[in-house]
Amino acid sequence: MTSFKGTVLVAGATGKTGVWIINRLQSHHIDYHLFVRSGAKALELFGPEIIDNLTIGSIEHPEEIRAALRHADAVICAIGGKVTDPASPPPSAIDRDGVKRLAQLAKEQGIKHFILISSLAVTRTDHPFNKYGQVLTMKLEGENEVRRLYSEPGFSYTILRPGGLIDGPPLKHSMIFDTGDKIETGAIRRSDVAEVAVISLFISEAHNLTFELIEGKESLQSSLVPFFQQVN
Ligand SMILES: NC(=O)c1ccc[n+]([C@@H]2O[C@H](COP(=O)([O-])OP(=O)(O)OC[C@H]3O[C@@H](n4cnc5c(N)ncnc54)[C@H](OP(=O)(O)O)[C@@H]3O)[C@@H](O)[C@H]2O)c1
């Protein structure tokens, strides 16, 4: 299978999922550029060798986003606000407006592929998580803009809606994929979410798809590509 040719901008690369996205891009030999709030945190996590692949900024600031996008042929966004911290910007500023801004500027710049890490249950307005600044509804509004912009011919999107995120290495479980936000609950490793996001760059079954994903049984996997058959 051919991999992705080009450079992938990882927004939120210093987050817990973002770190795994960089790891999986490296393992697929795909070039990347990091968009992060803290250069010091990026250097601490990835070492001095990433200094030339780094743009520092916030998803709240268009000029900083534009500077990061100059290096990109595709975007993977793993940004999420700190919903329980009243000192942080609310989900409306990050998960909705920030994601919309990133998608709009990426489209303006002619970037063809946009991959977004969203969440299970974004369509369930009465879900308990929604009491934190309507975070699920805000994520859905971010998703809607990505779908609107990237459904156009010549462009593609993939929106991943993972269940509760947990830590641990990838490729140790089968996956359950579904569409329509029907999965009630479940968990998944960030590393597997990252792997699925990265393979979504180059497998056509992932293009123009919004899907939920949780882990199934423990079992070693050589690839997560076959699980897309569940939603195609
Ligand atoms: N936790 C769960 O169980 C769960 C379940 C489903 C979906 N999700 C979603 O999955 C995604 C990844 O989750 P995670 O656990 O990896 O999150 P995380 O560790 O909190 O990472 C979030 C990233 O967003 C970055 N960020 C926040 N505000 C930003 C801004 N204004 N500009 C630029 N970057 C900003 C953070 O930067 P810093 O590194 O500088 O802090 C961090 O890198 C999030 O969207 C989350 O909402 C989470």
Q: Is residue 2 a part of any domain in this protein?
A: no
59 lines ligand 1 (CB under 6 A): yes
Write the CATH number for 195.
Answer: 3.40.50.720
pLDDT one-digit tens code per residue, 51-100: 999 999 999 999 999 999 998 999 999 999 999 898 999 999 999 999 99
- Give the distance (Å) from ligand 1 centre to CA of residue 14: 9
Distance from C-alpha of 79 to C-alpha of 59, rounded to nearest angstrom: 9
Q: Is residue 151 a part of any domain in this protein?
A: yes
Residue 41 phi/psi, 5° resolution?
-65, -40
To test the pocket of ligand 1, the residue of 9, 10, 17, 132 to mutate (highest count of ligand atoms within 8 Å of its CB) is 17
Distance from C-alpha of 152 to C-alpha of 166, rounded to nearest angstrom: 34
To test the pocket of ligand 1, the residue of 64, 84, 115, 165 to mutate (highest count of ligand atoms within 8 Å of its CB) is 165
Q: Are strands 173-178 and 209-218 parallel, antiparallel or unpaired?
A: antiparallel
Range of the domain at 47: 7-231
Q: Is residue 60 a part of any domain in this protein?
A: yes
Q: Which structure tokens are listed for 226?
A: 């076959």
- The arithmetic mean of pLDDT across residues 181-189, rounded, is 97
Residue 68 phi/psi, 5° resolution?
-70, -40
Q: Which structure tokens are listed for 77?
A: 């966004």
Residue partners of 186: CB distance under 8 A and separation at least 6: 120, 163, 164, 176, 214, 215
Can you give the pTM of this predicted structure? 0.98
pLDDT one-digit tens code per residue, 8-53: 999 999 999 999 999 999 999 999 999 999 999 999 999 999 999 9
Q: Please give the angle made by the CA atoms of 2, 24 and 213, to the nearest 5 degrees.
A: 95
60 lines ligand 1 (CB under 6 A): yes
Closest-lying ligand 1 atom to the alpha carbon of residue 93: 31
Task: Give the chain's domain count.
Answer: 1
Q: Is residue 1 a part of any domain in this protein?
A: no
Q: Minimal CA–CA distance to 193: which of 209, 219, 173, 218?
A: 173
Distance from C-alpha of 120 to C-alpha of 3, rounded to nearest angstrom: 27
pLDDT one-digit tens code per residue, 123-171: 999 999 999 999 999 999 999 999 999 999 999 999 999 999 999 999 9
Ligand 1, atom 48: closest residue by C-alpha: 165
Q: Is residue 200 a part of any domain in this protein?
A: yes
